[in-house]
Copies of this chain bind each other. A is one copy, B any other.
Amino acid sequence: MMSSTAPAQAPSTEATRSRATIPARLASYGTLLGLVALIILFSVLRPQVFLTPLNFTNILEQIAILAIVTAVQTVVMVVGDFDLSVGALASLVGVITAQLLVAGTDPAAAVAAGLLTGLLAGAVNGALVSYLNLSAFIATLATMTSFTGLALLLSNGSTVFGLPDSFVWLGQGRLGPVPVPVVIALALVLLIWFVLSKTVLGRAWYAVGGNAEAARLSGVNVRLVRFSAFLVSGTGAALAGIVLTARLASGHPTAADALMLSSIAAVFLGITLSRAGQPTIGGTAVGLGIMGVLSNGLNIMQVNSYVQQVLTGLIIVLAVSLSRLSRRRR
B-contact bits for A135-146, CB 8 A (1 contact / 0 none): 101110111111
Report yes or no: B134 in contact with A324, Cβ–Cβ below 8 A: yes
A149 contacts which of B133, B148, B153, B310 (Cβ < 8 Å)?
A: B310
A206 contacts the other chain (CB 8 A): no
The oligomer's copy count stands at: 2
Report yes or no: A141 in contact with B309, Cβ–Cβ below 8 A: no
Q: Which of A1-9, A171-179, A315-323 contacts B (4 or more CB under 8 A)?
A: A315-323
Report yes or no: B309 in contact with A148, Cβ–Cβ below 8 A: yes
Q: Which of A266-292 contact B (CB under 8 A)?
A: 268-269, 271-272
A11 contacts the other chain (CB 8 A): no
A138 contacts which of B138, B143, B265, B307 (Cβ < 8 Å)?
A: B265
Q: Contacts A268-B137, A306-B152, A306-B153 hold; do A313 and B132 have CB atoms under 8 A apart?
A: no
- Please give the distance in Å from A274's CB to the nearest CB on chain B: 12
B-contact bits for A299-315, CB 8 A (1 contact / 0 none): 00000101111111110
Bound-state Cα–Cα, A148 to B258, Å = 15
- Please give the distance in Å from A294's CB to the nearest CB on chain B: 11
